[in-house]
Structure 1
Amino acid sequence: MGKISLQIRTTLEAIEELYTNHPDYTFLLKLKCTSCGEVSDKWHDVIESQTYPGKTGKSENNYIAKCKLCGRENCLDIVQGSNGKYTSDDQGSFKTIVTFDCRGIEPVEFSPSEGWIAKAEESGKVFDNINLTEKEWVEYDEKSQQSVGVYEFESMFISVK
């Protein structure tokens, strides 16, 4: 299949940077078999720090599964060094935060979960383990005495070379 990047767009309130706790972040993905077109109804965990041996035993992948419909073994890897940060300068645009190397499957849906990190603009305070399951997050920054937040979280996938 090739490489597919996950891009996000969100509105940041008094936040300079938003990023995942790479390489331990759990990307929750719905996947589609490119052989038969079957789309999973379950969420699949893909974590860069976890690998599993392939059927030949020579390579390891971040995700391996056999398609329930056609029986084909498919795999997916997170491209090392592809994790990016969404910054206040990126607001209003989609930006790549991670790239997947896909063989036989492709991600079709992403659900943000716990494990995001946000850095406040004024104070530089770092907020750890943010939960974006509801696609928004609000907190109060004691140092700068203002509200901080992430709103209108959106995601999409694009093919890359």
Structure 2
Amino acid sequence: MPKLALQISAQLTNVQKLRPATDDAALMMRVKCSSCHEEHKKEVSFSPLDEVDVQGGKGKANFVMSCQFCKRPASANFETPTAKAPLYQPYDGPDFATLCVLEFRGMEPVGFVFEHTTWRAVSEAGAAFAELEFEDGEWTDYDEKGGCEVSVMEVEARWVRA
């Protein structure tokens, strides 16, 4: 089954690293059925901590659903993290870079929603911003340690084969 990498891109100002706030952070996505190509009506949440039985006793997955239109089963799994490849890789801009890798069965991602995930950033001066949230794809703050503005603007996401 296809492994797809979620890649992000953003314009960083005085920020050197951006990633989800915790290793168990849930990601919100829009998905569609691989069989009938019907897009799911709501955004769905994928958490690396969730373990759900796959229909038919075929193991476990981080996310399981059935298509609302054709009723076919679908599942997704985060790639197992290693010492060299953590679950969420920090983004340091400016080009697209892989945030995480998931394996999809019976569904395809069609979008990613930044606003529903809590993020963590580190400024160039080393100040940590532990629980930032995007508003309309943007985040700004002030770095007391560095005495400058910090921001993440123009966030984008795309899915590519891993």
Same fold, judged at TM 0.5 (above): yes
Contact kept? 1:73, 1:104, Cα under 8 Å: yes
Say which structure is richer in strand. 1
Map residues 36-115 of structure 1 onto 2, 5 A cutoff: 36-57=36-57, 59-81=59-81, 82-87=87-92, 90-91=93-94, 93-112=95-114, 113-115=116-118
Alignment of 1:9 onto 2:3: no
Contact kept? 2:31, 2:110, Cα under 8 Å: yes
Distance in 2, matches of 1:133 and 1:53, equals 35
- In the other structure, the counterpart of 1:26 is 26
| 3-state SS of paired residue (1:147) | strand
Contact kept? 1:52, 1:60, Cα under 8 Å: yes
Tell me which moved more, 29-38 or 75-84. 75-84
Map Cα deviations across residues 44-88 of structure 1 (whole Å, 9 max, x no partner): 00011112122234522111001111111110011122421111x
Q: Identity rate of aligned residues, in percent? A: 28
Shift in Å, 1:148: 0.5
Q: Which runs of 5+ in 1 are unaligned?
A: none
Shift in Å, 1:114: 3.4
Q: RMSD over aligned Cα, in angstroms? A: 1.4
Distance in 2, matches of 1:127 and 1:72, equals 42
- In the other structure, the counterpart of 2:123 is 120
- In the other structure, the counterpart of 1:147 is 149
Contact kept? 2:7, 2:157, Cα under 8 Å: yes
Size of the aligned set, in residue pairs, is: 156
Shift in Å, 1:133: 4.3
